[in-house]
Homo-oligomer: A and B are copies of this chain.
Amino acid sequence: MTSQSLDLLARGVRAASRTLAKAPSATRDDALRIAADLLVGEGTVVLDANQGDLERSKLVGMDPAALDRLALSAARLEQMAEGLRSVASLPDPVGEVLDGWVRPNGLRVERVRVPLGVVGVIYENRPNVTSDAAGLCVKSGNAAFLRGSASALTSNRAVVAILRRALAKAGLPQDAVALVEDTSHETAVEFMRLRGLIDCLVPRGGRALIASLLEHATVPYVLDGDGNCHVYVDASADLDMAEAIVVNAKMQRPGVCNAAETLLVHADVAADLLTRLSQSLAEVELVADDRARRYLPSASAATESDFATEFLAMKLAVGVVDDLDGAIEHITRYSSGHSEAIVTRDVESADRFVREVDAAAVLVNASTRFVDGSELGLGAEVGISTQKLHARGPMGPRELTCVKWVIRGAGQVRG
């Protein structure tokens, strides 16, 4: 794909975004519901396309976990359709008046939510992201400019074709959802540099993508980063509760960003809690500091790098700390700013942890696994931001909007 053709495609998406931004929410929601029906009703076309992607990926030796992420089925198409329907039924963030006031000179000031314009998404090989991301964009009045992976190209093309037909049926411009079909690294870099054509880029991928983005991007972006999440069990904790939370945070779904990667235990309860956990975490590979290893016979010695690593696996680093300060210090050093939990009965410990730990989400007496758009009530999410600017934590349709100042007067001029 030449830069000219990418630029031309982007200009088409941008023009469509202006029409979409003016469309009533009922029309945008219609498009999503029509797309949901088409995904199910004409699913065989998508499944055939996906079959081709799967066969090509097997031939080049893709690993089973990645193949599973790539694979669609009638049930997964139904889930994608259900996702679109549920996003359609969420309240429209566009047009919300955030606040407003009247100035002494009579000027009426309002801050109003408006769509960002064009949202770019770079993602890996899960074709369901195509409909999820496009759904959230259209819901919030934004055009979706998508760049998926090479391995999912024919699946993505089939899903995008359905989304574009649905837009047309609802009377909206098809270019409000568009796929960059050139999956080369060079085109990804050009995509990151479409300043003035992409209003917000959401990268969903690993460290190489983030590094490339930091180096090359000139468009604004929201980072969906790593989750090196901690659970700290305080001296005052209910140890039954602590055990349940640690087990859930580590084991319920170890491969995701809100799973716990490090357990910190107050020295006073280390013997009790770790003795219990050596049973309940029997299936988990443990790496621990010297003090924790006393109670964890199966644990090997944790290195500095273990505490810095998001394992995304059935592996947990364990450390014993002297007090809350020690826990906060450890978290400040190693946290990726995603989700951090304390288990405690003590009000002061809870308050200090909430206040002093710098992360998108802090939890008291709950599993880190709850830090997720649908668990927290956003309906859906386009990702979980670990940056501080614009959006932090789970990003729903609201996080795909920005603010416009609307100032109404009766001829006021500045003196």
Contact = CB atoms under 8 A, between A and B. Distances in A.
Contacts of A350: 408
B220 A389 contact: yes
B101 A409 contact: no
A359 interface: yes
Nearest to A241: B411
B116 A375 contact: no
A413 B200 contact: no
A388 B117 contact: yes
A30 B370 CA distance: 40
B388 A389 contact: no
Contacts of A45: none
A165 interface: no
Contacts of A370: 107, 407, 409, 412, 414
Interface residues of A, number: 67
Interface stretch (A73-81, A178-186, A360-368): A360-368
Nearest to A217: B214
A115 B200 CA distance: 23
A367 B414 contact: yes
A218 B376 CA distance: 30
Interface stretch (A154-162, A294-302, A398-406): A398-406
A47 B247 CA distance: 63
A238 interface: yes
Contact of A248 (B103, B215, B405, B413): B413
Q: How many copies does the complex hold?
A: 2
A346 to B, nearest CB: 14
Interface string A91-120: 000000000010100010100001011000
A103 B375 contact: yes
Contact of A406 (B362, B389, B394): B362
Contacts of A101: 377
A34 interface: no
A236 interface: no
B390 A360 contact: no
Contacts of A107: 366, 370, 376
Given A18-B332, A195-B214, A220-B388, A413 B103 contact: no
A115 to B, nearest CB: 9
Nearest to A249: B413
A117 B103 CA distance: 31
A160 to B, nearest CB: 25
A407 B371 contact: yes
Contact of A412 (B238, B367, B412): B367
A266 interface: no
B407 A361 contact: yes
Given A244-B413, A366-B412, A410-B365, A405 B376 contact: yes
27 contacts: A18-B332, A22-B355, A103-B375, A107-B370, A109-B377, A195-B214, A200-B389, A214-B218, A215-B218, A220-B387, A241-B410, A241-B411, A244-B413, A362-B404, A364-B408, A366-B407, A367-B412, A367-B413, A367-B414, A370-B407, A370-B412, A371-B407, A388-B402, A392-B402, A393-B403, A393-B405, A394-B405
Given A114-B358, A375-B414, A390-B390, 10 more contacts: A103-B376, A200-B388, A220-B388, A361-B407, A362-B404, A366-B411, A366-B412, A366-B413, A376-B407, A392-B404
Q: Which 8 residue pairs across A and B have the least CB separation, nearest first?
A: A366-B409, A248-B413, A241-B411, A361-B405, A369-B414, A389-B390, A390-B390, A388-B402
